[in-house]
Each structure stands twice: as C-alpha cells, then as structure tokens.
Amino acid sequence: MKDIELPMRVIVGDGAIDKTKSLFTELGLKGKSLVLSDGNTYQVAGEKIAADLGSESLVLGDSMGEGIESAIREIKKTGIDFVVGVGGGSVIDSAKVCAFKTGIPYASIPTSAAHDGITSPQASIPGDKPVSMRVHSPLAIIADTEVIRKAPYRLLASGCADSVSNYTAVLDWELAKKEIGEYYGDYAASLSMMSAKIVMKNARKIRDDVSILVEALISSGVAMGIAGSSRPCSGAEHQFSHAMDLLCPGSSLHGEQCGVGTIMMAYLHGSDWEKIRDVLQVIGAPTTAKDLGVDDKCIIEALMKAHEIRDRYSILRDGLSRMEAMDLAEKTRVI
C-alpha cells in the first residue's frame, strides 16, 4: 500500500511571507501558533511573522535537542495548535520533529535554501549516530525569494550542490533495484533526477533567479514524499557527507559535502563526473578537500566509513579499502 503525503500549499515568490496569515486562514489553521526561529532568522522574518499571526515565539539556541525539548514543553503547556518553522535547515527540522512528536501540523518558511530539508518529510538529527527521521510533510511551504536571495550566497550554492546530488542518489537507487531487488519508484526517481538536471542546466542563472533552486528543492521534497523515504535524494554521496560530519565535524555545509561526494560517486558509477564537477565550479560550490577546508585524511576516512552510515545499498557496496578511497579521491582531483 502506498501512503503519499505532500504539502497542501506551496507559495514561492518575492514577498511571499506577507501572505502567511491569509494562507493559514484559507487552510483552516486556526488557534494558537508557535513560531520557531533562531537568533538570526527571528530578525530576518520570524519576529514579523509572529506579530502578524499574533503567535507565541521561541528563539532556538545552538543545541537542536534542547530546542526541540523546550518547544515541545511550550506546545503542551500552552495548547499550541500548529508550529511555524522560520529559518534554515535546523530550525525547520526542529519544527518538523516537535510537530511530529506532539501530533500537530507545521508550516515551513525557509529563510535560506541550503538543502532540501526545508521542504522534505525527513528530519536530520545530528549526534554520534546521525539519523534521518521520517516525519510529516509541511502543511504549507512559504518560500519568499526576496528573503532567500539576501541570505549568504554560500548557502545558496550549497543548496544547488544538494540538488545536484540527487543525480547519484537516483543512480544508487537504480543499482539497488537491479542488484538486490529493492523497491524502486519511477515517478519519485524521475522527479528527483529532473530537479538535479534543471539546476545543472541553469547553473549560471541561479544567482539571479533563486526560484529555480527553490523549486528544485521543493520537487526533491515531493519526490521523498512520493517515495516515503529519502531514497530518491540520498545515496552514497549523502553517506559520505554524514561520515564527514562524524569524522571532521563542522568543517563545511551539508550540501557542499554532498556535492563533492557526488563527483566521486558519479566516477564510481562510470557516469560523467567531470560534468558534475564543472557545474559545481560554475555554481561556486566546493569541488576539492581544500575548498571544503579539510585535509586529505578526512576525505579518505569518510570514503572508507561511508557505507556503514546507514543500511542503504549504494555503489559503495561493502565499502572501499584505503587504497581504493585514495585512488578515487585522486582520480577525481578531490585531493
């Protein structure tokens, strides 16, 4: 049986946040709301949205776990009816998790577009063993391109790299279908691949037209909603990125790491890895260890560890030896 969950409404465009209140009324989102943001995104948009909605507001600190716990306490104590996440990936992920755990709906209002977590029914929970948690899709996504355009360009470039990484994620999914008979969804895979290809084709335009990227990230979220998992948008390149998070944490952004992973996994798939690298360079996303701000050792170790990250069949199969990892990173000029 398929159980597909998708957002009910998506608004993308300049000034979209001004429509927040009327959209929520249309959707029947009534009662008490809680706006979650962080110190920066509160100023960018959270404060205004909370004032428009007459909502409670909680500004999250650096610790995601503590933020989620205090939001859950607030929701239970004051009888909050829905949550509004205003921010980047970790704020939106916090909104997803506390809405899921308390059984209330949430809306996603991204203030940057650094990865597809802003739209997906998956939440990344960092920690010793990072986990991807299946949650609900946002009831609404309001992506104000005027706000997103003002975010640092590095975040936008990282979001593009995360979209491009759908390319090898889909190749891995096809491989899993062929080699171990895993369930494969044609629609979800095609939608995910299309998002990667549109970003690649428009690499030069994204700086001027962020809606191309925002729509690609939303389509990635929809692909995950159709598939019922992160499979269409997360393969070996994501395992590599998660391994980097464990081995050399905080050195670079999720999408940046996935982009470099995509170059190397495309090589292993016998696909056009040079094209992926060229596109990432045009976008201004990292393509080497140096660009990521890590040493060669981090890349090699992450490549060797990646297959252990989660139970997901990929081109890494049983893992790479040190020699194979070095060879791969050298041939693709990552190190």
Task: By CB under 5 A, name the one of 38, 93, 162, 301 that touches Zn ion.
Answer: 162
Nearer to Zn ion, 105 or 221 (CB): 221
Residue whose entry in the numeric block shows the structure tokens 């049986």: 1
Q: Which residues contact 286 (CB under 8 A, 6 or more apart)?
A: 161, 252, 256, 259, 260, 280, 292
Name the residue with the smallest CB distance to Zn ion. 162
Nearer to Zn ion, 162 or 301 (CB): 162
Is 172 near Zn ion (CB under 5 A)? no
For the CB of residue 103, give the shortest distance to Zn ion in the complex, in Å: 27
Nearer to Zn ion, 96 or 115 (CB): 115
- Give the total residue count for the chain: 335
Letters for 259-288 (x = contact with Zn ion by CB under 5 A, - = none) are ------------------------------
For the CB of residue 115, give the shortest distance to Zn ion in the complex, in Å: 5
Site residues (CB under 5 A) for Zn ion, limited to 7-46: none
Q: What is the DSSP letter of 165?
A: T
**DSSP H stretches of helix in the chain:** 20-26, 39-41, 47-53, 64-78, 89-102, 145-150, 153-164, 166-180, 186-201, 210-227, 236-247, 254-268, 273-283, 289-292, 296-305, 322-331
9-13 and 82-87: which strand pairing?
unpaired
- Residue 188 has, within 13 A of its CA and on its CB side, a CA count of 26
Amino acid making up residue 248: C
Site residues (CB under 5 A) for Zn ion, limited to 85-104: none
Nearer to Zn ion, 115 or 305 (CB): 115
Q: Tell me the C-alpha distance between 216 and 221, whole Å.
A: 9
Stretch that binds Zn ion, among 73-81, 128-136, 142-150, 155-163 (CB under 5 A): 155-163
For the CB of residue 172, give the shortest distance to Zn ion in the complex, in Å: 13
CB distance 264 to 334 below 8 Å: yes
Residue whose entry in the numeric block shows the structure tokens 């909680």: 58
For the CB of residue 124, give the shortest distance to Zn ion in the complex, in Å: 8
Nearer to Zn ion, 162 or 256 (CB): 162
CB distance 101 to 65 below 8 Å: no
For the CB of residue 248, give the shortest distance to Zn ion in the complex, in Å: 18
Letters for 104-123 (x = contact with Zn ion by CB under 5 A, - = none) are -----------x--------
For the CB of residue 116, give the shortest distance to Zn ion in the complex, in Å: 6
For the CB of residue 238, give the shortest distance to Zn ion in the complex, in Å: 6
Q: Tell me the C-alpha distance between 281 and 86, whole Å.
A: 30
Collapsing DSSP to helix, strand or coil, 309 comes out as: coil
Nearer to Zn ion, 162 or 245 (CB): 162
Nearer to Zn ion, 185 or 232 (CB): 232
Collapsing DSSP to helix, strand or coil, 228 comes out as: coil
Size of the site for Zn ion (CB under 5 A): 2
Strand partners, 109: 86
Stretch that binds Zn ion, among 71-79, 93-101, 156-164, 276-284 (CB under 5 A): 156-164
Q: What is the DSSP letter of 138?
A: P
Nearer to Zn ion, 162 or 172 (CB): 162
Collapsing DSSP to helix, strand or coil, 205 comes out as: coil
Nearer to Zn ion, 119 or 288 (CB): 119
Residues in touch with Zn ion (CB under 5 A): 115, 162
